[in-house]
């Protein structure tokens, strides 16, 4: 009986020490995680402030800050696991096998990461550009590790996968300094074409936002079923595109009638023959 009590005392003390030691390791690991994640945010914010101070391109800033934060957090998790007494060689082997399995499962995610790198390297757009990507239009708000975020003109947020963005068709409306504005104005058959062209030329000359080089173009575009369509093309600064477009439409609507010109609408003439 005394031997059993002695054995229990010795074993109980060992178990208590083992549990206490493991509890301390768990506490240290949790502390490493908490402090490490806090430091990741602090370091990332400091790097963002530094990049902004050096006027680094916003898309590159958002991408690097996201990448740095994720990298630091991965290192923190590895350090926390090591505090639990897991040997690094075993952990690396487990991490490698897990990474392979995750990589196969999340091949699309890796593709998105590669797409983000390609976007930053080739720079098809930058933060603030107005683009058409994957059938979605909006201003580029952020370029992150895996996603590109667009903000539409009516303030909706669109999140696109970088893999699809980098490998798809991208239309950048604001990358070039100048853009061509195209109009098609219809007048009725029988209206004076010369008067219409002279009036449009007057509108162009009076709008100082329209550039003289390249020279604006006015010509007969199409003889349509209900109208004679006049094609107008003019070059403007990219920032002036929509203002010029809407201003010209408004002047045509308000002043064509006073000049004796009719803006037609689709119509059909029906001729009825009286049989005799």
pLDDT of residue 105: 46
Delineate the domains of the chain, giving CATH numbers in brackets: 9-105 (1.10.287.1260), 117-172 (2.30.30.60), 178-259 (3.30.70.100)
- C-alpha to C-alpha distance for 76 and 84, rounded to whole angstroms: 13
pLDDT score of 97 more than 80: no
Least confident piece of the model among 52-56, 95-99, 182-186 = 95-99
Task: Please return the burial class of 153, using the count of CB atoms within 10 Å of its CB with bins 0-12, 13-18 and 19+.
Answer: exposed
pLDDT score of 164 more than 80: yes
211 backbone dihedrals φ, ψ, rounded to 5°: -80, 150
Least confident piece of the model among 3-7, 46-50, 248-252, 267-271 = 3-7
pLDDT of residue 85: 67
209's CB contacts (< 8 A; 6+ apart) are 236, 237, 240, 243, 244
pLDDT of residue 8: 45
- C-alpha to C-alpha distance for 158 and 137, rounded to whole angstroms: 9
Least confident piece of the model among 79-88, 135-144, 220-229 = 79-88
Least confident piece of the model among 159-163, 203-207, 267-271 = 267-271
pLDDT score of 13 more than 60: no
When the pLDDT of each residue in the chain is averaged and rounded to a whole number, the result is 83
Task: Summarize pLDDT for 15-36 with one digit per residue, the tens.
Answer: 666 566 667 777 777 888 888 8
121's CB contacts (< 8 A; 6+ apart) are none
Q: Would you say 164 and 134 are in contact if contact means Cβ atoms under 8 Å apart?
A: yes
pLDDT score of 276 more than 80: no
Task: Summarize pLDDT for 106-147 with one digit per residue, the tens.
Answer: 456 778 888 888 888 888 998 899 999 999 999 999 888 889
Question: Given pLDDT bands bounded at 50, 70 and 90, which one contains residue 254?
Answer: very high
pLDDT of residue 70: 81
Cα 150 to Cα 50, 66, 175, distances in angstroms: 25, 17, 16
Nearest to 251 by CA among 195, 200, 190, 198: 200
């Amino acid at each position: 009986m005394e031997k059993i009590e002695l054995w229990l005392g010795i074993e109980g003390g060992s178990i208590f020490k083992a549990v206490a030691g493991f509890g301390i390791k768990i506490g240290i690991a949790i502390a490493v995680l908490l402090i490490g994640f806090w430091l990741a945010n602090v370091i990332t914010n400091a790097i963002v402030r530094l990049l902004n101070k050096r006027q680094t391109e916003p898309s590159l800033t958002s991408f690097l800050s996201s990448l740095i934060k994720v990298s630091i957090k991965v290192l923190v998790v590895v350090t926390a696991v090591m505090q639990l007494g897991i040997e690094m060689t075993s952990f690396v082997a487990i991490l490698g096998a897990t990474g392979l399995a995750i990589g196969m499962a999340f091949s699309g995610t890796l593709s998105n990461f590669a797409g983000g790198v390609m976007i930053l390297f080739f720079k098809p757009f930058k933060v603030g550009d107005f683009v058409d990507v994957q059938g979605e239009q909006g201003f580029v708000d952020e370029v992150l590790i895996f996603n590109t975020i667009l903000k539409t003109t009516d303030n909706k947020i669109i999140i696109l996968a970088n893999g699809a963005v980098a490998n798809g068709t991208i239309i950048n409306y604001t990358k070039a300094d100048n853009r061509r504005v195209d109009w098609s104005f219809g007048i009725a058959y029988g209206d004076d074409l010369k008067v219409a062209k002279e009036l449009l030329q007057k509108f162009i000359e009076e709008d100082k936002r329209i550039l003289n080089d390249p020279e604006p173009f006015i010509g007969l575009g199409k003889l349509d079923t209900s109208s004679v369509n006049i094609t107008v093309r003019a070059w403007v600064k990219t920032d002036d595109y929509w203002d010029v477009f809407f201003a010209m439409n408004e002047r045509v609507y308000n002043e064509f009638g006073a000049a004796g010109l009719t803006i037609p609408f689709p119509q059909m003439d029906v001729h009825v023959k009286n049989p005799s």
